[in-house]
Each structure stands twice: as structure tokens, then as C-alpha cells.
Chain A
Amino acid sequence: MGLPNASGDLSSEMEVDAFRRLFPLRFHERHLVESIRPDARPVGRARETTLALGAVASADGSALAKIGSTTMLAAIKMEVMTPSMESPDEGCIAIEFHMPPICSPIVRPGRPAEAAPVVSKQLSDTILSSGMINLKELSLVSGKVAWMAYLDIYCLDADGALFDAALLSAVAAFSHLKIPVVSLNDDGRVVVVSEEQEGGKLENEPVNKEKRKLTLSSIPFSLTCILHKNYILADPTAEEESIMETLVTVVLDSSGQLVSLYKPGGPVLAYSSAVQDCVALTRHRVKELQKILNEAMSDMEVD
């Protein structure tokens, strides 16, 4: 037990950076006592969030989301496929989350990051179970052709709350998605109608002239919180995540329903009061994110 006291004496004469590296937990707890965090945020506030739609010109829908310095690039590519026998009038969505070595010093080249498949699975569970996208809208000709949406999310900078940023970029990419116009040619095959042809007269009538946008109902938004002692820290950075290990991710949809409450272990137990506090913080965050998404979309329309 000598260590905390020793650090307490040292803290008055030691340089701040040295103290931060030698006693990271004490460094953070000293901030928390004052209800503030090392980056000058209050305990319950998320970092500044920005969203840019249409970041990838070659994709059918794309978005770049930044929460603090955590950066995610999401892009959707639409391809035509034959629907499965079980669901002949439904399209399909394939979601993949990538963590290239550029994103964090922990990820080494040639070795895939451990977190990537887990976030990937979490994302597809959340997006598919939230009912945001009606898969029937991705159908072109029932039983014959349907859309396959490949959503790829690249993490460019992993500075904590990966899932939150990934989900935000995914949702934004779907709201930016513009489905290409296709028509059936004489052989009954699907061909993409290019932009130039669109204005002029067409040999074959496009199949999906009206259905260019997906209707997104009940969009899910998430907030990750750290539980540490009695404190709840919203939207942690990578440093905070590595020091205080209990994470709770709450996903709520825009109508306030719970899509997921995810707490994978951690040394701190979540009691009912903490769960309710996390949900309340998420409710507040959903409103913020909804506003950011709406602003980004209206910016696009002006352009």
C-alpha cells in the first residue's frame, strides 16, 4: 500500500507528463474528483463529432465520421445478385469492419487486429436487428434479382469508442446511399444505366426509377461509457479505455427503444442505477447525433 502514498507525495514535485505515465490511474482519478477529464471535458460529455457525406466518389454511398480523433470511413458498393430461395423478395447487406495498421500502434501489419471481427459482428447484429433497413426495398425483381449492399468501414484512427464512430459512419453512409439505375436488357439481364443515358431516350425502361433512396426507419445511435468506481465517463478515448477497463455500450434507436446493451465483462459490476444512468446519457447523445446527421444531410442537398 506504500505506492499510492508515495505517488501522492511525488505528485506535487513531479512533472505532469511523467506523473501521467507512471501513475495513469491516479492521474485520471485526480481529474475525476474535480469532475473533469484530462482533455477538459465534463464526465458525461462526448467529444466533438463531425460527419461528412459522400467522402468516396466511386462508392454508391459513403461517409466520414469523426468523434474526437477517432475516424471512420464507411463506403457502400451495390451489386446485383440472385436472392436466396428462403427470402426471394429480399436483398442482402454484408458488413465488414477493417482495422489497418495505420489506425493504432497496437495493430501490427500482417496480423489482423483482434477487435476487428468483434466490432464487425456487433455492427451487423445492431444494423440488421434494429430494423433500420427494410430488406424488401433492396429487391429488384422478386425471386430473380436483388441488391447486395457491401458496406465496408475503415478505421483510420482508433482513439477509443470504435463502435460508436463505426455505427455513426455506417448509418450516415446508408442515408447518403443513392442506388444506381438499372434496366433489364433483351436477354433478361440487369445492366446499369449510365448517367449520360439517363437523360436521353432509353431502349429499355429502368426497373427502379423511383426507388433510388432507402427509407431509414428508427435509426440506431450508440454511446460507449466507462464505469469506474461511481463515475460514468461518456465516450472514452483510447487512453481511458486502456486504464479503466469496464465498458458499457448502449444502442438506442430514434424512437427510444433499446437495440443493444453490451457489457463484455470488466472489473466493475453494473447495478440498475448505473444501467439507467448510461441509458439516460445515451438518450441525450441520440438527440445530438440525430441533429448532426440531419445537418450533414441538409448540407448535401444544398450542394
Chain B
Amino acid sequence: MEIDRVDGRTPNQLRPLACSRNILHRAHGSASWSQGDTKVLAAVYGPKAGTKKNENPEKACIEVIWKPKTGQIGKPEKEFEMILKRTLQSICILTVNPNTTTSVIVQVVNDDGALLPCAINAACAALVDAGIPLKHLAVAICCCLAETGYVILDPTKLEEQKMKAFAYLVFPNSILSVLPQGSSLVEGEPMEHGIITSVTHGVMLVDDYLHCLQRGRAASAKMSDFLRRSLQSQVPSDSSKAG
């Protein structure tokens, strides 16, 4: 059942992660996130006054602009924009800054598989950098399912095309809290096991999907730790931005 991956990784092994924040001078918050050769740059401007049309003025509005590596934006990019917008809306505290718009601009630098999860992670780090109030962070991961029902994590573009199905999953990160353990349990499951976003492609068995969920959760815990570490390490240099 073992699958040999081209780059010699084990099925559960993620590509090397890298995250740097505060890289754009003019943006209120920015971050670049890379997973192997996939790299995405995100910039946050705002909160700016006023919401867009058809948005609830009693809440903060989030606008996502997706810039592909080359060419015009098409239907897939529109879909990514919508998914990213809804995902970010669900992690932001929208009632703190009512009647404002926060723009998130996502620039794809290089696409080598798992593009949307990478963009979600980058946007999330950029929101933290901009100091937008968040309920919790989001951690996105891509699970690929092979013909035999075997799951591999964080596929490259080549693997994504070869596999019969894949799922993009977004989980909340575990909250470090002073409250006693167990308070974050919902229906007997810890909070970080809930799915914020799920997008699947290709036919699979329902059991295979649940299996993907399990593996995704396990890996998201690791990514969550990485995200937290990389955010903490840059806090001291961040004080200049506060003023």
C-alpha cells in the first residue's frame, strides 16, 4: 500500500514551511508563506471606512483580491476569492469594527500544488501582522487520496494531478487558554477538530473522506505549532508598528 513520493517524503511528511511577516513597507500587514515550492504573498489594508454594497454595515466586511501568477483572473480564481473571503470572515471578530472594509490581497508567487491552503495560511498570518482582531487562527492543509485509498499530505502539483481525489481542509488552531482543559470541548470533540472550510475534488468513499479528516487534523496540529512559533518570534520587532 506504500506509495513512493517523487521527493522521497513519507506520506504524512509536509514540505518545509517558511513564513515571514512585515515584508511590505506600505501595507498595514503582510506575510509570505511557502510550502516547498508553492509560495504566496498576502497583504492586508484596513480597516477602511465603509462597507461595500450588499454587505451588512453592522459588521466589518472583508474583501479578497486574488492575483494569479500570470494572466487574467478567471472562474477558478473567483472561486478561490469567495472561499478565502468566507474562511477569513469566520475567523475574524467582525463586530469590533463595524462598517469597515478590510482588503486582503493575495499574490501567487509560485504554484506547486496545495495553492489554496497556502494562500489561506498566508492571509491568516497577514491578518495577524495587521492586528485585525481574530477569534482564532486558521490552519489549512491539502490531503490527497490515491486509487487504493491511501492518503498523502501536502502534495506537489504533479501528485495532485496524478491522484484520484483531493480535499482542502481548514481547521481552527488550538487555543492556549487559562480556562481549565475541557472547556473547549464541543459534542465530545475538541474545538480544533471542527472544519472551517472543506473543498473536495474527485470521487471518493465517505469513509475515505473521514480518514482524510483525521490525517488532516493530526497534521494541522503541527502546522498550528509552527504558525504560533513563527508569530511569537517576531513579536519584539513588531512594537514599532503599534504606534
Residues of A within 8 A of B (CB): 106, 114-115, 117-118, 120-122, 125, 129-131, 218, 230, 248, 253, 256-267, 269-273, 275-276, 279
Contact = CB atoms under 8 A, between A and B. Distances in A.
Contacts of A257: 203-206
B161 to A, nearest CB: 13
A302 to B, nearest CB: 34
A275 B210 CA distance: 9
Closest 8 CB pairs of A and B: A269-B194, A265-B86, A265-B87, A117-B78, A121-B75, A270-B195, A264-B86, A265-B90
Interface of B: 54, 75-76, 78-79, 82-83, 85-90, 167, 170, 172, 186-187, 189, 191, 193-206, 208-210, 213
18 contacts: A114-B82, A117-B79, A118-B79, A122-B79, A129-B203, A253-B203, A257-B204, A257-B205, A260-B200, A262-B200, A263-B198, A264-B86, A265-B88, A266-B86, A267-B90, A272-B210, A276-B210, A279-B206
Contact of B54 (A106, A118, A273, A279): A106
Contacts of A117: 75, 78-79
A64 to B, nearest CB: 25
Contacts of B198: 248, 261-263, 270
Nearest to A262: B199
Contacts of B170: 265
Nearest to B138: A265
Contact of B205 (A131, A258, A263): A258
Contacts of A130: 203
A161 to B, nearest CB: 17
Contacts of A129: 201-203
B193 A271 contact: yes
Contacts of A261: 167, 198, 200, 209
Nearest to B208: A258
A114 B208 CA distance: 33
Nearest to B167: A261
A266 B90 contact: yes
Given A258-B200, A262-B200, A271 B205 contact: no
B187 A273 contact: yes
Contacts of B203: 129-131, 218, 253, 257-259
